[in-house]
C-alpha cells in the first residue's frame, strides 16, 4: 500500500521539525567554536537567537498539528519533548510520517 500524502499541516510540521533541528545544529557548531576552539562567539550569538524563534515556532506548530490532525495525547507529548534534546525533532517527524500521523485523514 503506498503511503498516504501529507496534509498541509503535516508538511508544515515536517518543515518546522527540520528547521528546528537545523538551527540546533548551527547552535551546536557555534558552541564548539565558542567553548571548544575559543575562536568566536558569533555562532552562539546568531544561532542562539534563531534557536529561540525556531523552538517557539516548533512548539506552536506541534500544538496546531495536535488539534488539526487529531493526534492522540501521547503524540503531542512526544512532539513537544522532542524539542528539548538537540536534533530529536527530525527522527520524531520521520516516525510520525511512517505512522500516518502527518497524512491526510480518510474517513
C-alpha cell of residue 1: 500500500
What would the 3-class secondary structure string for 45-56 be?
A: HHHHHHHHHHHH
- Residue 8: its pLDDT value, please? 94
- Residue 107: its pLDDT value, please? 44
C-alpha cell of residue 90: 527530525
Q: Phi then psi for 102, rounded to 5 degrees?
A: -105, 5
Mean residue pLDDT across the chain: 92
- The string of pLDDT tens digits covering residues 29-71 is 999 999 999 998 888 999 999 999 999 999 999 999 999 999 9
Give the rounded distance of the alpha carbon of 24 from its chain centre.
10
- Yes or no: say if 58 and 20 are a contact pair by the CB < 8 Å rule: yes
Amino acid at each position: 500500500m503506498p503511503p498516504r500524502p501529507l496534509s498541509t499541516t503535516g508538511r508544515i510540521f515536517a518543515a518546522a521539525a527540520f528547521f528546528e533541528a537545523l538551527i540546533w545544529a548551527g547552535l551546536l557548531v557555534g558552541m564548539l567554536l565558542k567553548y571548544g576552539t575559543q575562536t568566536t562567539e558569533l555562532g552562539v550569538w546568531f544561532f542562539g537567537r534563531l534557536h529561540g524563534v525556531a523552538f517557539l515556532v516548533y512548539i506552536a506548530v506541534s500544538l496546531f498539528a495536535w488539534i488539526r490532525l487529531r493526534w492522540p495525547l501521547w503524540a503531542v507529548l512526544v512532539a513537544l519533548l522532542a524539542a528539548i534534546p538537540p536534533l530529536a525533532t527530525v527522527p520524531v517527524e520521520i516516525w510520525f510520517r511512517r505512522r500516518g500521523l502527518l497524512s491526510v485523514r480518510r474517513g
